[in-house]
Amino acid sequence: MNFPSLRGFLQVRALPLVFASLTALTACDVGAREQAVQLPDPVLDTPAKGLQTVIFAGGCFWGVQAVFQHSKGVMTAISGYSGGPANKAHYEDVSGGDTGHAESVKVTYDASKISFGQLLKIFMSVAHNPTELNRQGPDSGTQYRSAIFYTSADQHAVAQAYFDQLKAAKSFSKPIVTQLVPLKAFYDAEAYHQDFATLHPDHPYIAYNDLPKVDDLKTLFPTVYRDSIKP
């Protein structure tokens, strides 16, 4: 069977008959799961107020969505696609890795409760590994690249300053490869992808790769973490 990624092999549409072997395949990826890193606060942050939006891409959108859904100040976190054309914004197309799209999460947040700089720190520390080029954990391909699709000049400036700050502090042993790209469009993913980690906590991929990210958020950001995925 030729699947675009381990996650594609494990996704909810897979036949029930293969789940025994799926669990074994997941176990083979011990060590592939991304580990959280404790990072400093950004020196530069945005002065924005009110509701703001940014799109984060950092591998499988299931885990990235879950992390931000459990962050205070985040109003909504929606899984979707960004970077490619509208007519290719479908999971079957994006999984091929040649649409220009990245699996992404649109984060709408109340800037009076959580700043862009704080979200950026969570993204770089807990949600994914910003030094992995075109892959995260067991998933590989340009659709799993690390990117920030910013919606304002302030977001771009804060992100670039934070990258420079982390590089100077040698916070990572490898270079940051996260792309900074102005947002052109975001397309919601299919309904079955939304809230996937919350709805399927026993799914092998979620249990191994994504629930630990939520646990890391709770440990490293105790004042930000919330139990509910709703504000």
Catalytic residue positions? 60
- Integer Cα distance of 13 and 209 in angstroms: 19
The three-point CA angle 59-192-207 to 5° equals 55
Q: Could you tell me the CA-to-CA distances from 134 to 58, 96, 139, 145, 213 in Å, in that order?
A: 9, 13, 9, 4, 19
- Chain-centroid distance of CA 84 in Å reads 17
Q: Which of helix, strand or coil describes residue 22? A: helix
- Whole-angstrom distance, CA of residue 3 vs CA of residue 13: 12
C-alpha distances in Å from residue 195, one per residue of 19, 67, 220: 21, 11, 22
* Cα(119)–Cα(221) distance, integer angstroms: 11
Q: DSSP letters along 84-101, please?
A: S-GGG-SHHHHTTT-SS-
Sign of torsion over alpha carbons 200, 204, 207, 208:
negative
Distance between CA atoms of residues 213 and 65, nearest Å: 11
